């Protein structure tokens, strides 16, 4: 029991250190990125650049969500829904799937 508590404490500490490390790196990176203000996507730096050179330009999308913070909102929404769906099906496959299999095995044994 004591050993379990100690290992749990160690785990919490190590994850705390990892989190702080990632957070500090992210903070440094964000400040540098803001200073440089340059992280174009390859669609901009490659696709649209060469298309423009050859007289083709991107048109406004049918439903234009690329307006202010609206794009951030739809990306956040899409990420949340996508993450929920992935988590739900992961649970269906791994947790429930394993449980169902073990039940079936027990039935066969009995």
Partner 1 sequence: MRIKVSKFKVQSICTALLLLLPVCEAHAMHISEGILPFDWAALWTVIAIPFVAYGLYKLKKLSAIDLSFKPLVGLMAAVVFIISCMPIPVPTAGTCSHPCGTGISGILVGPAISILITAVALLIQALFLAHGGLSTWGADIVSMGVIGSFAGYLTFRGLRALKANLWIAGFMAGLFADWATYLTTSVELASGIKGDSPFMPLFWKILIAFIPTQLPLGILEGAMTAGMVVLLYKKRPDLLVKMRVLKPKEAI
Closest CB to partner 1 among 16 and 82?
82
Instruction: Select from 61, 62, 58, 60 the least CA-distant residue to 50.
Output: 58
Q: Yes or no: say if 39 and 33 are a contact pair by the CB < 8 Å rule.
A: yes
Closest CB to partner 1 among 16 and 98?
98
Residue 95, burial from CB neighbour count under 10 angstroms (0-12, 13-18, 19+):
exposed
Size of the site for partner 1 (CB under 8 A): 56
Closest CB to partner 1 among 60 and 110?
60
40-79 residues in contact with partner 1 (CB under 8 A) are: 40-51, 54-66, 71, 74-75, 78-79
Show Cβ contacts of residue 58 under 8 Å, excluding neighbours closer than 6 positions: 48, 51
Q: 54: helix, coil or strand?
A: coil
Q: What is the CB-side half-sphere exposure of residue 99 using CA atoms within 13 A?
A: 5
Binding mask 75-104 for partner 1 (x = CB under 8 A): x--xx--xx-xx-xxx-xxx--xx--x---
Contacting residue, 9, 12, 16, 18, with partner 1 by CB under 8 A: 18
User: By the criterion CB under 8 A, which residues form the site for partner 1?
Assistant: 14, 18, 21-22, 25-26, 29-30, 33-34, 36, 38-51, 54-66, 71, 74-75, 78-79, 82-83, 85-86, 88-90, 92-94, 97-98, 101
């Amino acid at each position: 029991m004591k050993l379990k508590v100690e290992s749990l404490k160690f785990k919490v500490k190590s994850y705390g250190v990892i989190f702080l490390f990632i957070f500090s790196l992210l903070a440094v990176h964000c400040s540098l990125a803001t200073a440089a203000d340059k992280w174009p996507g390859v669609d901009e730096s490659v696709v649209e650049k060469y298309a423009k050179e050859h007289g083709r330009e991107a048109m406004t999308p049918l439903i234009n969500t690329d307006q202010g913070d609206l794009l951030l909102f739809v990306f956040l929404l899409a990420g949340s829904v996508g993450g929920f769906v992935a988590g739900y099906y992961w649970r269906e496959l791994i947790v429930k799937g394993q449980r169902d299999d073990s039940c079936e095995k027990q039935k066969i044994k009995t």
